Amino acid sequence: MVKRFSRCREDFVCEHCGAQVIGDGYTNHCPSCLYSKHVDIQPGDRRELCLGPMEPVSVEVSREKYVVVHRCLKCGVVRRNKAVKDDDVEVMIRLSARPRAL
């Protein structure tokens, strides 16, 4: 059986905006600009070789929770990640007003 999630606590500097991000083991994007990095094949495994920047392209509501939709600017893969309480609300609002661009 394939393990579907590996918790990996990592701090990082956002490659898009330069913010210092303190990880909690579930952190997968910058709370300031919502950009991510394409590092996982399965959540938390850090096995993806692409390593491209993941642009936040939209916000969706799923089961009454917000989800940030990212698209890799290098390979085009699309991933959905839960929004967290520390995410910049203004950025979320701007993303939610955009037409869906996938």
- Give the predicted TM-score (pTM) of the model: 0.86
The structural domain count of the chain equals 1
pLDDT digits (tens, 9 = 90+) for 8-39: 788 999 999 999 999 888 888 999 999 999 99
Q: Is residue 38 part of a domain?
A: yes
Residue 6 confidence (pLDDT): 67
Q: Is residue 1 part of a domain?
A: no
Show the domain range for 56.
12-97
Q: Is residue 7 part of a domain?
A: no
Q: Is residue 77 part of a domain?
A: yes
Q: Is residue 44 part of a domain?
A: yes
- Percentage of the chain exceeding pLDDT 70: 90
Q: In residues, how long is the chain?
A: 102
DSSP annotation of 5 reads: -
Q: Phi and psi dihedrals of 61, rounded to 5?
A: -110, 125
- State yes or no: pLDDT of 64 exceeds 80: yes
Q: Is residue 22 part of a domain?
A: yes
